[in-house]
Structure formats: C-alpha cells, structure tokens
Amino acid sequence: MILIHSEKNFQTLENQIRILKAKGLVIQNPSVAKKWLSQCNYYNLINGYKELFLDYKRINEDPHHHEVFKPNTTIEELKALYDFDRELRILTLKYLFIIERKFKSNLAYYFEQFHKSPNAYLYAENYDQTRTKNVNRTIIILKKEYNRASRTETSHKHYIELIEHVPLWVFINFISFGTCSKMYKNMNSREQTLISKSIAPSLEIQDLSAFMEYLTNIRNICAHDERLYAYICSSMPPGMPLMQYFHLSEKARKSYFGLIITLKYFLSRKEFNSYYHKLKILFQNLDSHTHTMSIKKVYRKMGFPHNWKNINHI
C-alpha cells in the first residue's frame, strides 16, 4: 500500500500515477495522465477537484481514513471538472468586465460632473470629509497608479504634455477595479447615489461599496486561476430580493449561485441571457463527461436551488 503521507513529499510523475491508482482512480492512459499532471500539477488537478469523487463511506470505515475514490472513477472525470471550473472562470470574468466597464464609466462621469478642477480625484477635499483616513489612503494609491500610468501609458503621457493633467475619464482606464471600488467608497453620497442608480437601477440602494468589493474579490479569483465553482464568500452584499425568491440558505447565498443573482442585477437582460445560456452549455458539457458523479452534486456544491433556471425569466 502507498501511504497517504508519501504524496506530501516530492513525487515523480510515475509515482503520482501509482499513488492515484492505489486510491482507486482509473488511469487507462498513463501518458495522457502524466501530461495533465505536468501541466496542471497534482495539487490543482487532484486535490482541487477530488472531493465530489471520493467514496466517503469507505473512507469513514477505514480506521486510518485513507482516501479512496468511488469505484470506476477516472482521471478524465477529474479533468472534466477541472476544465469546467476553468471555463467557468473565463465566462464569469467576461461578464465581470462588462460590469467593471459600466462602473468605471459612471464613476468618472459623475465625479467629474461635480469636480471639474484638473486632477480633482487626487485631492482629499473632493471626497467624503467624514472618512479622512480612508480618503488619504485611497489618494496615496491613486497617486501611485497615476505616476505609473504617466511612465508607461502613451495616452496618459499625451494628456500631460497637452494640458498638463489627465481627465478622470482617461485615467479611469488605468485604475484597477479594486482601487475604483475604494475610490467610490470614499466619494460623496450624491455621486454614489447617481452611480448606483445608473448601473443597478433595480437595486434600491444608495451605496454600491459592498457590491463592488464583492465583485472585485470574485474578479481576483478568476484572474488568479483559483477554484471558483466551490467558492464560498465570507459575506454577501445586502439588498437583493431575489435571494428571498429562491429561499436560499446562508451558505447558498455565499456560493456561486449568489454571484449569479448579483450578476442578474448588474447586467442588462440581453447580457444576462447570453451569460445564462453559456453557463447551461458548461453544465451540459460537464454532465456528458462524468459518469460516477451526478451533475446534481455540482449544482448543490454551487448553491443552486432546484428551480434555478427561473433566474433567466424573472
């Protein structure tokens, strides 16, 4: 028997294959398996996606709790779930970019509507005066990003040479989503309300700060290639009636389905319909490549209620 602790140390690809076979994973083509393990690495492919394929009844009966896969589980199935999650990140990121663009565009527009002096976004007096420390921290970050863009971005340099400052509607393209979220959080309430009504009119809220922080975190997960399908956030932004419509548990609210509900509020009907149908195709593709695991397990892991497809018709 290959001991479980042996995989904690460096193992050649050949030994990794032996370890997986000892755990009951079916590997009919070792050459292909080695290629996947080499490209994805053992931790990402196996440890990241084995949970739904493990035989917990047999594991619990083993006094040493050695891991074992369900009978007939193949490495192709783990790779299918791995690929599903990768495509889920790509899909999610595409629509987060749409929201980010809307948010940045409205932030620049309404900030400049009330603050017309050159580079007004770099001065504390143009923000909420009750948040002095946070405002000052944000301005330090903005100045760093401004200086970086001045050195590296042609359009930024052009405006400095032309008019000796950079309008926010230009600079906004070089500010990270996270920094924009911080900037928004420290803006005056009149601008916050106008931005909120412009990009999420169906949400009866004046402050989008919690939403932007949440979406920034999801964006980072997608961009850094972290596991998304099983992600559970620490807290969800309040104020989304659709959470009650689906009678979601607290855990389900913090899961990927909670993100779907959030996207519903920030995307246009056409945009959300496109996202929804692409998501359905991802599930169909995963279902066609797995046989020892029910697709319902993936739905549950992602917090989906039984009537989740209603989301596209509400």
Q: What is the dihedral of CA 24, 26, 32, 38, to 10 degrees?
A: -20
Which tokens in the block code for residue 223?
A: 């961009």
pLDDT in tens, the chain (314 residues): 344 445 567 889 999 999 999 999 999 999 999 999 999 999 999 999 999 999 999 998 887 778 999 999 999 999 999 999 999 999 999 999 999 999 999 999 999 999 999 999 999 999 999 999 999 999 999 999 999 988 888 887 788 877 888 999 999 999 999 999 999 999 999 999 999 999 998 887 777 889 999 999 999 999 999 999 999 999 888 878 899 899 999 999 999 999 999 999 999 999 999 999 999 999 999 999 999 999 999 999 999 999 999 999 98
Supply the pTM of this predicted model.
0.91
Indicate the residue type of 183.
Answer: M
- Residue 276's contacts (CB-CB under 8 Å, 6 or more residues apart) are 311, 312
Structure-token match 């596991």, residue found: 227
Distance CA 288, CA 304 (A): 19
C-alpha neighbours within 13 Å on the C-beta side of residue 95 = 27
The residues that bridge with 69 in the sheet, in sequence order, are 54
Determine the Cα–Cα distance for residues 236 and 257; give it in Å rounded to an integer.
Answer: 11
- Compute φ and ψ for 74, nearest 5 degrees: -110, 155
Find out whether 174 and 160 touch, Cβ atoms under 8 Å: no
Q: Given this model, what pLDDT does residue 151 score?
A: 87
Q: Is 54 helix (H, G, I), strand (E, B) or coil?
A: strand
DSSP letter at 46 equals I
Which tokens go with 205? 């809220």
**Nearest one of 262, 280, 263 to 272, comparing CA atoms:** 263
Count of C-beta atoms within a 10 Å radius of residue 312: 16
* Length of the chain (residues): 314
Q: What is the pLDDT of residue 262?
A: 95
For residues 82, 87, 90 and 91, what is the CA-based torsion angle, rounded to 10 degrees?
Answer: -140
Burial (CB count <10 Å: 0-12, 13-18, 19+), residue 208: buried
